[in-house]
């Protein structure tokens, strides 16, 4: 993942694509911030691809919220800038699962962990996060899991 980001950064520099370059630099800065925080906690290992995917997912959510707020305030040019950044970030995220795939993944996770009641929701969410980080919106998945267990 790191190599893909660095290659994309170099290509954006060569192509003089200022918008893409700016977003790629923001991604690298967010990853570096996470590494620095991990070192402060005594963790000397490099961050994993799953952690990078989580950072990218968080960045997309932040930009979606910002775009929505800009639209409500009538600042359409800023909302478009946020959406352009989302497109660049999503280039590095795996394909999002559709509703049927999400439902099938939830059913499989429930079976895998042997979940029987709402008390097992944490186990199910943990199994989903382990396999599908960056491929589904866990904020939207939580209520579905709850309804299937409830």
Q: Tokens in use for 27? A: 């991604």
Nearest to 53 by CA among 90, 8, 85: 90
Using the predicted structure, report yes or no on whether residue 26 has a pLDDT greater than 90. Answer: yes
Write down the domain spans for the chain.
2-90, 99-149
Average pLDDT over the chain, rounded to an integer: 91
Confirm or reject CATH 1.10.10.410 for domain 99-149, answering yes or no: yes
Diameter of the chain measured on Cα atoms: 55
* pLDDT digits 0-9 by tens, 71-106: 999 999 999 999 999 999 999 988 888 889 999 999
CATH value of 2-90 in 3.40.50.720, 1.10.1510.10, 3.30.1490.110, 3.40.50.300 = 1.10.1510.10
Q: Please count the other Cβ atoms lying within 10 Å of the Cβ belonging to residue 42.
A: 6
């Amino acid at each position: 993942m790191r190599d893909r980001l660095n290659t994309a950064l170099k290509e954006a520099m060569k192509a003089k694509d200022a918008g893409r370059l700016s977003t790629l630099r923001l991604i690298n800065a967010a990853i570096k911030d996470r590494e620095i925080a991990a070192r402060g906690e005594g963790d000397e290992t490099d961050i994993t691809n799953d952690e990078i995917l989580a950072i990218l997912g968080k960045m997309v959510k932040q930009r979606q919220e910002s775009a929505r707020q800009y639209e409500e305030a009538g600042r359409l040019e800023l909302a478009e800038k946020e959406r352009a950044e989302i497109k660049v970030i999503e280039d590095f995220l795996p394909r999002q699962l559709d509703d049927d795939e999400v439902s099938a993944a939830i059913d499989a996770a429930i079976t895998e962990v042997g979940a029987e009641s709402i008390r097992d929701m944490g186990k199910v969410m943990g199994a989903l996060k382990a396999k599908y980080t960056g491929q589904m919106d866990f904020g939207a998945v939580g209520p579905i899991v709850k309804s299937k267990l409830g």
